[in-house]
Amino acid sequence: MKPIAVFRHSPTEGAGHFALFLTQHAIPWQMIHIDQGEAVPTDASAFNGLVFMGGSMSVNDDLPWIAQVLALIRDAIARDIPVLGHCLGGQLMSKALGGVVTKNPVKELGWGKVEVADNAVAKQWFGDVTQFDSFHWHGETFSLPQGAVRLLSSAHCANQAYAIGKHLAMQCHVEMTAHMIEDWCRVGADEIAANLNSPAVQSAETMQAQMHEKLPPLHKVAERLYLNWLHGIAPRKS
């Protein structure tokens, strides 16, 4: 069985709960450390799926690997290989498919409610869930590329997730773990302090105080999404 490729763009933004999910389901996967200079594969058919995690950079930055990742995403979708994006990953998917990534009206840092769209595609992905508390850490937002169906929105960001068939792009972070939240609060202390006047930014103390209550239900939502995404993987020879 070919592995799922998971792309890490920042040392503190790894696979999180998604890694645990894959391990529990005995799904082989391979981490590609973009942040350590590992090469971007050129052939998506080497993998059963592509998963892109978050990162502090912008998809509009002049970084040599971004164009290569965009080409790989397009190659995967052309080959009907499922693609999944978390935050920066969702923005990469949007840009690869002709969408644009622009500044969000406000930064969203910390816990915030997202609403599930009232459409059949959202029902397929989320079932009876109509809203939930997700974790956020972004200052930019993606547009919906052609053929995309909006799945989630929040009070401060209209496009929190979309699907194009078996491909899922998210602006919010459903993959969080307690360790990741602690790391982000430490690394992002200056960013939090500079944006506490935003209605969508929490203090590090609030983020961490709420995580023990909010992570278990978030993981249930994440696992439903991940399982649905896995259903899009066709049997492929290794």
Mean of the per-residue pLDDT values for the chain? 96
Q: What pTM was computed for the model?
A: 0.96
- Checking if the pLDDT of 136 tops 50, the result is yes
Domain assignment present for residue 238? The answer is no
pLDDT at 112 over 70: yes
Asked, for residue 237, whether it belongs to a domain, the answer is no
**How many independent structural domains does the chain possess?**
1
pLDDT of residue 235: 61
Phi, psi torsion values for 150, nearest 5 degrees: -65, 135
Residue 165 counted as domain residue: yes
- Top-confidence residue, 148 or 233: 148
Of 56, 58, 41, nearest to 5 (Cα)? Answer: 41
237 or 155, which is more confident: 155
Mean pLDDT of 71-92: 98
Q: Which domain holds residue 37?
A: 4-230
**Residue 220 pLDDT:** 98
77 domain residue, yes or no: yes
Alpha-carbon span 58 to 237, nearest angstrom: 35
Query: How much of the chain exceeds pLDDT 90, in percent?
Result: 97
State pLDDT tens for residues 200-217. Answer: 999 999 999 999 999 999
Mean pLDDT of 43-70: 97
Residue 236 located in a structural domain: no
Say if residue 237's pLDDT is above 50.
Answer: no
Rounded Cα gap, residues 75 and 224, in angstroms = 26
Residue 150 has pLDDT above 70, yes or no: yes
Q: What is the CATH number of the domain that holds 205?
A: 3.40.50.880
Q: What mean pLDDT do residues 30-50 have?
A: 97
Is 70 inside a domain boundary? Answer: yes
Q: Is the pLDDT of residue 111 over 60?
A: yes
